[in-house]
Amino acid sequence: MRLGTYLGQSLAGQLGSDPGKAERFSLTTGERVSRDGKETYVLEVPLDERWSLMGEYDEFDDYNVGVKWRVWQDRSQKSKEPSDTSAKADPTTENRPEKGQEPKP
């Protein structure tokens, strides 16, 4: 997978795009096998939170390109990500005990 990221960053750099966004490329290989015995490939390039460009070589030995629109997104996944690290650096919360723990001396 690192090779795909490297190639994606190189391609994005050559096309004048931000190479940092190339890390968002998703390349899935070998999920299925085509009729000719070749591995399938799926490439997804997110444009924003809802839209993505898709390209694939499928199990029927066809190449497909399309646009994917995410209608519904699970917001609970985003809430699990740490939002800000400034709370960790706050000295007032540093010595507060966790629920059910004794205070630190």
Beta strand residue intervals within 34-71, DSSP E: 39-46, 51-57, 63-69
Cα 91 from Cα 7, distance rounded (Å): 44
pLDDT of 9 higher than 70: no
Domain of residue 65, residue span: 24-71
The pLDDT, as a whole number, for residue 5 is 57
The pLDDT, as a whole number, for residue 87 is 47
**Model confidence at 1, in pLDDT bands (50, 70, 90)?**
very low
Asked if residue 62 belongs to a domain, the reply is yes
pLDDT of 3 higher than 80: no
User: Do residues 38 and 24 touch, judged by C-beta distance below 8 A?
Assistant: no
The pLDDT, as a whole number, for residue 64 is 96
In sequence order, the 6+-apart residues with CB closer than 8 A to the CB of 62 are: none
Average pLDDT over residues 98-104: 60
Asked if residue 82 belongs to a domain, the reply is no
Average pLDDT over residues 2-30: 65
pLDDT of 57 higher than 90: yes
Domain total of the chain: 1
Asked if residue 81 belongs to a domain, the reply is no
Asked if residue 100 belongs to a domain, the reply is no
Asked if residue 12 belongs to a domain, the reply is no
66-94: pLDDT as tens digits:
999 999 877 776 655 555 554 455 555 55
User: Do residues 58 and 40 touch, judged by C-beta distance below 8 A?
Assistant: yes
The pLDDT, as a whole number, for residue 75 is 77
